[in-house]
A and B are shown apart, each in its own frame.
Chain A
Amino acid sequence: RKEVEQDPGPFNVPEGATVAFNCTYSNSASQSFFWYRQDCRKEPKLLMSVYSSGNEDGRFTAQLNRASQYISLLIRDSKLSDSATYLCVVTANAGNMLTFGGGTRLMVKP
């Protein structure tokens, strides 16, 4: 079983739709949580950190449920430019390696 699991998708949604991605992690000692975005053949880029209280950045909302070891990302009012792969990332302790999920591919269609 992978340490960080994501539905690979693809999620095909029309512009303006709301889409949600889920992620589960197996290491209960995980301390930091992130969502990264990766465009085709490019490097991953930080989208947002995820906090226990939940956090929002514009159209993006991230939630963390430590008890269930579950992370989510909600994208509202999808844009064509949101088309990318979204990577769920956890770290087990401060500053060590990032453990990535396999990514969820999103395709937003006109």
Chain B
Amino acid sequence: DTGVSQNPRHKITKRGQNVTFRCDPISEHNRLYWYRQTLGQGPEFLTYFQNEAQLEKSRLLSDRFSAERPKGSFSTLEIQRTEQGDSAMYLCASSYGSGGPYGYTFGSGTRLTVV
């Protein structure tokens, strides 16, 4: 296991199109998080899963966003009817339990550009 894997690395889409990103966490990690980061800002929390249950969602996660983790392993984040304001880096992180003193492991992110 080489860490948290995210695909694709880059995505350019036209406004109004739907996009889906995938995150494969570290295999023994039961918690999975999605964050969004825009230029010059720190990452902002979107949602998190414990196993397959989505336990918390940020108000940033509008109705156009949906996330799933169907079998408690990989997760997908879908954005419908993309807008230019959705352009950002989407980061996935995983942890086992609370993450403890070791924090969380982040993937390399998916950079979305909406044109």
Show the binding face of A for B, using Cβ within 8 Å: 4, 8, 32, 34, 36, 41-46, 49, 87, 89, 91, 94-103
Show the binding face of B for A, using Cβ within 8 Å: 31, 33, 35, 40-45, 48, 50, 56, 58, 91, 93, 95, 97-99, 101-104, 106-109, 111
| A100 x B103 contact (CB < 8 A) | no
Which residue in B42, B44, B103 is a CB contact (below 8 Å) of A34? Answer: B103
Which chain A residues lie closer than 8 Å to B95 at the CB level? 95
Q: How far is the CB of B104 from chain A (nearest CB, A)?
A: 7
A-B contacts, 7 of them at CB < 8 A, read A32-B98, A46-B103, A46-B104, A89-B103, A91-B99, A94-B98, A97-B45
| A102 x B40 contact (CB < 8 A) | yes
Which chain B residues lie closer than 8 Å to A89 at the CB level? 103
Identify the 6 closest CB pairs spanning chains A and B, nearest first: A100-B42, A95-B98, A46-B103, A97-B45, A43-B106, A94-B98
Known: A102-B40, A102-B42. A95 touches B108 (CB 8 A): no
Report how far A49 CA is from B95 CA in the complex, Å: 15
Whose C-beta in chain A lies nearest to the C-beta of B6?
A43
Whose C-beta in chain A lies nearest to the C-beta of B33?
A97
Known: A43-B108, A96-B48. A36 touches B103 (CB 8 A): yes
Q: How far is the CB of A93 from chain B (nearest CB, A)?
A: 9
Which chain A residues lie closer than 8 Å to B58 at the CB level? 97
Which chain B residues lie closer than 8 Å to A32 at the CB level? 98-99
Known: A34-B103, A43-B91, A43-B107. A99 touches B31 (CB 8 A): no
Q: A46, A87, A97 — which one has the most chain B CB atoms within 10 A of its CB? A: A97
Report how far A24 CA is from B73 CA in the complex, Å: 35
Known: A43-B91, A43-B106, A43-B108. A96 touches B56 (CB 8 A): yes
| B45 x A98 contact (CB < 8 A) | yes
Report how far A98 CA is from B56 CA in the complex, Å: 12
Report how far A40 CA is from B109 CA in the complex, Å: 13
Whose C-beta in chain B lies nearest to the C-beta of A103?
B42
